[in-house]
Structure 1
Amino acid sequence: MTTELASSDRPSEITVAHMREDWLPLSENWLHSLLTHLPDGVKNRVVCERALNLDKFPVDSIHVTMTSRWLRSLAFRRGLGKFVRRYARADVLRSISPHIMHSHFGQSGWESVAIARRLRVPHIVSFYGYDVNLPDREDRWRRRYREMFDQASAVLCEGPHMMEQIIAHGARREQMRLFRLGIALDRFPYRPRTWARQEPLRVLIAGRFVEKKGMPYAIDALARIASRIPLEIHLVGDAYENAASQAEKLRITEAIERGGLADRVVSHGMIPYGSLIELAYRCHVFVSPSVRAADGDTEGGAPVAIAEMAASGMPIVSTTHCDIPYAVGGSDNAMLAPERDADALADLLLKLVENPGSWRPMLDRARAHVENNYEIIKQGGHLAQIYREVISSQPKTDNG
């Protein structure tokens, strides 16, 4: 028979296997921050196929599954790859003996279903953005997500819009948990921006060069106001090697040329996270006009950078895309335009520069919202509590 775990059977210290194909792309600094701010009672074990950027994102314990040349060669053989990767992950997980598995991104969640079931380990899946609408872009993920939702103990998401999207793909409402990504506020001291009319308005635009970031709309909006105020535009990011991202990079370049902004744009390319923060404190306004891409790709929730920049004391000009209104705490805390509307973005920017005295109350509200909802220590404790609740709710097999 099965019974609920008695309190004496609940571990005082829990071991979590964090499942991620690559640890860790530069754009996922927020995931490293979350893991390193979990409370002392949580032992993190990162399980991945490839280790990247360990100098920037160190962890206490990392297990790379595909270190063997023999395994890597088998993984590339037709029809064998899926089974070889699962075998390698299962072998590592047996050695770790985790109390719970936490898959980061929906794809990792599906890859971990069979292993979690075989090892009888509770399994949490977190969604973060581009994974949310995979079933809308590729039919195979409809079946895969349904299989994953049938097995997962809990599914975490960043906001109510993302939650409804995931439920529409087959998740059960009772297995959903709202969980905001945390921000290390000590890295973002509150320095509310001010702007004097005689100086250039320094605008920050940052993100990967993909359609959902909406960067051409930001450039077009700034071109509309360039004749009225001096501008200094700082563009941070670059394209992936794939054709779609390269095409977006071309659209961004064309928008700069079309708007006559070549001499006002400073292109920084990809820069370290610390350098981005330093640059942010030299800028007045953060523009992040996310959109739904033609292929259905979305932010899912909201870019973490929006909450980070709001925490620093920078006005946010963005859109009503996905969970951005929820992330900023509503239109009183940020300037929000409809998606793909450069004219509306330009109007919001003009409203800011024509009323610089109105910035401080908005910035104070935005900072308070971030402190109340995103503080990393608090969110780390919240995640640890979710782990313990899920472990406690698992039935225990009684062979007596």
Structure 2
Amino acid sequence: MTERPVVVHFFGTYLPASEVWVHRQLTALQRYEPLVLARRLERVAEFLLPRPPVAEGRGWRGRAGRRVLGVAPRQLAAARTAGARLVHAHFGPVGRRAMALARRLRVPLVVSFYGRDLFAHPRGTTGLRRAYRQLFRCAALLLVEGPAAAARLVELGAPPERVRVHRLGLDPAAYPFRPRRRAPDEPLRVLLACRFTAKKGLPYAFVALARVAAEGLPLAIEVVGDAGADPAERRLAERLRTFVAQRGLTPHVRWLGFQSAAGLRAAMDRAHVLLHPSVRTPVDGEGGHPVVLTEAAACGLGLIATDHGDIPQLVVPGESGWLCPERDVTALVTALRQAATEPERLAAYGVGARRRVEHLYDLRRATWDPVYDAVLGACSSTATALS
């Protein structure tokens, strides 16, 4: 069997609970073998790869090597030993650090942007333009999840010809589809699934749920996710729990915390709708396309989301879900009410969402393989022309 060319995947942390979808993309590769290099490793035993991931190392030799080489010596050695043909960095700031590795290996660099890295900087857009200036010159290709993110990347100074939309997909066959219909004597089963960050819009979700509950609509709410180590996330978690208690929602809410992929899938199986009201914030800016929306759509859940980032690529009003303006609690209430009282609409939206997943997000047709083929082919053509 011919060995597959190796692509280095460069991360800050591999693999936080909120980014387990990365493993799905890595294991779907058909013609290339991934080698993960990261500053820090987490949950590695849960997400096995053909080659073991390599962390930076914290000894004085590693620190000295990074100052001299711009990259951890043990990671550079691992990439060279593997004969890496390309470096793929995940998130813009990580791409900046990956430039040194790509330069030392003399291989092309691909960078994926996922949302926050297109907006978050103490000096805003001006700061991001300066921070990414060199990266935009060095990277062979810049990947984003949809046209809104592509436009933002060009606004920051990226050459349009190097920006490509490449959606994060899944295998629809792995997500059994079931149309959702609420029985008259059944509560509306609502799922919220996200990390407790401000851009996820959780306060608006709970205000809407409280209003619907006050109208007498029975609810069963499950929350998958939690706060991380960030103090702001922990304060938000406390505020949400206090609000739930004050509004009498405690008997109707189950806080499940971070879950495995199987745990999240089980929660989706129990739910009628996924409520995901993302908002733009001064700190995080705009998010990308939440992968949990794609997973819920594949399963047949009703999607209640906001007109935010590239979410409208999946959630199309009147076809595949309810798309509400950001921070519009009244619109969220209307969507929840319709999901509970109009079973045919709920079922039809689930069918429409599944179709959009099959059309736009089928991983069997959207792996990173053709991206690498194109980059390496272009580099080979350039080298031949110059020889």
Tell me if both proteins adopt one fold, taking TM over 0.5 as the criterion.
yes
Partner of 1:174: 161
User: Against the structure 1 CA distance between its residues 85 and 99, is the aligned structure 2 distance closer, same or farther, given a 3 Å change threshold?
Assistant: closer
- Point out the more displaced range, 84-93 or 370-379: 84-93
After superposition, residues 9-48 of structure 1 pair within 5 angstroms as: 13-39=4-30, 41-48=31-38
Residues 120-131 of structure 1: pairs in structure 2 closer than 5 A: 120-131=106-117
Given the superposition, is the C-alpha separation of residues 288 and 274 from structure 1 closer, same or farther in structure 2, using an over 3 Å criterion? same
Q: Does 1:59 align with 2:49?
A: yes
Q: Which residue of 1 aligns with 2:329?
A: 342
Corresponding residue number in structure 1 for 2:224: 236
Q: How does 1:231-270 map to 2 (within 5 A)?
A: 231-270=219-258
1:82/1:155 Cα in 2 relative to 1: closer, same or farther (>3 Å)? Answer: farther
Q: Distance in 2 between matches of 1:244 and 1:82?
A: 36
1:44 to partner: Cα distance:
1.5
Maintained 8 Å contact 2:315/2:323: no
SS at match of 1:38: coil
Cα distance, 1:134 vs structure 2: 2.7
Q: Is the 8 A contact 2:297 2:354 kept in 1?
A: yes
Aligned residue type for 2:27? T
d(CA) in 2 for partners of 1:293 and 1:82?
38
Could you say which residue in structure 2 is the equivalent of 1:97? Answer: 83
Shift of 1:282: 0.8
Q: Could you report, residue by residue, the CA deviation over 1:164-206 in whole angstroms, capped at 9, with x for unpaired residues?
A: 1111111111001110101132331001111012111111011
- 1:324-363 aligned at under 5 Å gives the runs 324-329=311-316, 331-363=318-350
Whole-Å separation in 2 of the counterparts to 1:73 and 1:101: 21
Q: Which amino acid aligns with 2:149?
A: M
The structural deviation recorded for 1:141 is 4.2
Q: How far apart are residue 267 of structure 1 and its match?
A: 0.8
When residues 71 and 377 of structure 1 are mapped into structure 2, their CA distance, relative to the original with a 3 A threshold, is farther
User: 2:60 matched to which residue of 1?
Assistant: 70
2:268 aligns with 280
Instruction: Give the letter for the 2:173 counterpart.
Output: D
Q: If the length of structure 1 is used for normalisation, what is the TM-score?
A: 0.89
Residues 1:115 and 2:101 aligned together: yes
2:369 corresponds in structure 1 to 384
* Aligned alpha-carbon RMSD (Å): 2.3
Moved more, 87-96 or 205-214: 87-96
Per-residue CA deviation, residues 4-28 of structure 1 (Å, 9 max, x unaligned), is xxxxxxx994321111122211211
Does structure 1 residue 153 correspond to structure 2 residue 140? yes
For residues 362 and 68 of structure 1, what CA distance do their matches in structure 2 show?
A: 51
Give CA deviations for 1:21-65 in whole Å, capped at 9, x if unaligned.
2221121111100110111x2121112232211222111113414
The structure 2 residue matched to 1:222, chosen from 209, 212, 215, is 209
Structure 2 Cα separation of the partners of residues 12 and 166 of structure 1: 35
Alpha-carbon shift at residue 345 of structure 1 (Å): 0.3
- Which moves more between the two structures, 27-36 or 141-150? 141-150
Give the TM-score normalised by structure 2. Answer: 0.92
Q: Could you say if the C-alpha distance between residues 348 and 396 of structure 1 is closer, same or farther in structure 2, counting changes exceeding 3 Å?
A: same
1:28 is matched by which residue type in structure 2? E
**Structure 1 residues not aligned, in runs of 5+:** 1-10
Deviation larger for 357-366 or 104-113: 357-366
After superposition, the Cα gap between the structure-2 partners of 1:377 and 1:216, relative to the gap in structure 1 and judged at 3 Å, is: same
Aligned length, in residue pairs: 382
Measured after TM superposition, the shift of residue 228 of structure 1 is 2.4
Task: Write out per-residue CA displacement over residues 326-364 of structure 1, whole angstroms, 9 at most, x where no aligned residue.
Answer: 133555211011111111100111122221122222211
State, as a whole percentage, how many aligned pairs show the same letter.
34
Q: Which of 1 and 2 has higher RCO (CA within 8 Å, sep 6+)? A: 1
Q: Give, in whole Å, the separation in 1 of the partners of 2:284 and 2:18.
A: 21
Gaps spanning 5+ residues in structure 2: where? none
The aligned counterpart of 2:176 is 189
Bigger shift: residues 64-73 or 120-129: 64-73
